[in-house]
Amino acid sequence: MKLEELLYTTYGFDTFRPGQREVIEQVLQGKDVIALLPTGMGKSMCYQLPAHLLTGSVLIVSPLLSLMQDQVAQLKKMGEKSVVAINSFLKPEEKEKIWSQLGSYRFIFVSPEMLVQPFVKKQLQRIRISLLVADEAHCISQWGFDFRPDYLRIAEILPVIGHPQILALTATATAKVTEEIKGYLQLKEPFVYKHAMDRPNIAYDIKRFLTSKEKQDWLEEFVLQSGGPGIIYTGTRRKSQELADVLASLGISAAYYHGGMEHQDRIFVQQQFQNGELDWVCSTNAFGMGVHIADIRHVIHFQLPTSIEGYVQEIGRAGRDGKPALATLLYAEGDEGLMGSLVMDELPTRREIDELAAAKGDARRLVDEGIVRETAYRVGSYWLSRLSLEETHQQIESLQRGKLKQIDKIKKFIHFEGCLREYLLSAFEQDLQKKPANCCSNDGIDYSRFIISKAKNDKSTIDNWQTRLNGLLPLA
């Protein structure tokens, strides 16, 4: 059966999206593959279709529970019944049923933390796994080093499950991150597919203000005058709640979302947004993966992102339907200070490492006593289990230097006077092939393409709003 025929009979699609066929062919030839496909290009199909031709189960390592649940729901919606997600929220009777028929599932989803648990490894050892998929593989570098070191341990499962071939999927990865993915997944001569990252329908906008109040005033008027759906990214949980409260007080359907919320509350907000019951979500970077909403028109960064890679991931959630979308970054003087503190807080301090080393097997109590932060415990313990104390200090200092380089790239982006699209692509070693009509604020943007005004039939209202967006009139 030809791949196109299988694609149609199994999932109802007539043709492959760019890059899918190339990746699938390499997977079916038994090669390890790293696939860099932009958000919305259908990365999941790169393992879903081969699963119908390979012998054994496909094991998908997924970074977020919400993403895992969404992928399972999408497969079941397409008629796939042989799928399961292994997570800590399963009831004992559900787990028992899964373990008893584990080998019968075509797709098995699991988090990195669950994957390295001895009992889970023992269960996976009993079945045949033909393909291991590292979904959102950039997290191995972006999150593994910082606060989820179990990402760096994925390779430990390989000898247990018979060294299956590996497919690493991501939308964003620099050459450095690609090499880290190769190393930590122990890939040997993998086929690497890199699709052009540019999303021509997304216009890049930077607004600069003297004070934080000016920035918030602009945001309130923008949201009042423009239609959603949209995401407003913040640097802290507190700010996401504050902004959601402000927008709600203005009569806008908005909610906040962050990692400190109860799981069911996060799922509820995500479902409301996907069902069109919310126009805006104010969130930390915890929101986005697994949110498949084609018509997100706006992604706004109220506070600075901590890396170019993270920024591109987040703005890539806009305009998946191919229609015009606007990515707006808001900057007020002094915002770099918050960005720097957020980035450095992700890593353990020298004192915390020393405390962990001294505590040895009793290190967990340091978290309970408030001496060491939870994140610092996970990262510090991981490196201390592999390196000497001095080597661990050196490793953390190396990671800090890497973080400072990421901060520097963001600072340059904020004040860059050339084409913002070209700047972002150059960060991923790519060149701009063709500049779209609405490229970026430095080249000029026709904002009327992105604004759904409540008075959309009133040309004078739209013209006035266009002028305000361009910064030629003060905000009311």
Per-residue pLDDT of 87-106, as tens digits, reads 877 888 998 999 999 999 99
Residue 468: per-residue pLDDT: 45
Per the model's pLDDT, the better-predicted residue between 463 and 306 turns out to be: 306
- For residue 277, pLDDT over 70 is answered with yes
Residue 271: per-residue pLDDT: 86
The residues, any chain, with a CB within 8 Å of residue 191's CB and separated by 6 or more, are 23, 26, 31, 32, 33, 34
pLDDT digits (tens, 9 = 90+) for 13-62: 889 998 999 999 999 999 999 999 887 678 899 999 999 999 999 999 98
**How large a percentage of the chain has pLDDT more than 90?**
55
Q: What is the pTM of this model?
A: 0.83
List the chain domain ranges. 3-194, 202-338+415-469, 346-409
Using CA atoms, how far apart are residues 442 and 420, in angstroms rounded to an integer? 7
Bridge partners, 230 (sequence order): 280, 298
Q: Which CATH superfamily is domain 3-194 in?
A: P-loop containing nucleotide triphosphate hydrolases (3.40.50.300)
**Contact (Cβ atoms closer than 8 angstroms) between residue 27 and residue 76:** no
Amino acid found at 383: W
- For residue 465, pLDDT over 50 is answered with no
Question: Is residue 147 very low, low, confident or very high in pLDDT (cuts 50, 70, 90)?
Answer: low
Decide if 3-194 and 202-338+415-469 have a common fold.
Answer: yes
Residue 233: per-residue pLDDT: 95
Mean pLDDT across 365-385? 90
Residue 89: per-residue pLDDT: 78
Bridge partners, 300 (sequence order): 232, 328
pLDDT digits (tens, 9 = 90+) for 163-213: 999 999 988 888 888 998 999 899 989 999 998 889 999 999 999 999 999
In the chain, DSSP finds a helix count (H) and a strand count (E) of 20, 13
The architecture CATH gives domain 202-338+415-469: 3-Layer(aba) Sandwich (3.40)
Question: Is residue 143 very low, low, confident or very high in pLDDT (cuts 50, 70, 90)?
Answer: low
Cα torsion angle, 270, 272, 273, 275, sign? positive
Give the three-state DSSP class for 331.
strand
Residue 374: per-residue pLDDT: 87
Per the model's pLDDT, the better-predicted residue between 361 and 183 turns out to be: 183
DSSP 372-438: S-HHHHHHHHHHHTTS-HHHHHHHHHHHHHHHHHHHHHHHHHHT--S-HHHHHHHTTT---S---SS
Amino acid found at 102: L
Residue 341: per-residue pLDDT: 79
Question: Is residue 457 very low, low, confident or very high in pLDDT (cuts 50, 70, 90)?
Answer: very low
**Tokens 């008629």 appear where?**
79
The region of weakest confidence among 206-210, 390-394, 429-433 is: 429-433
Mean pLDDT of the chain: 87
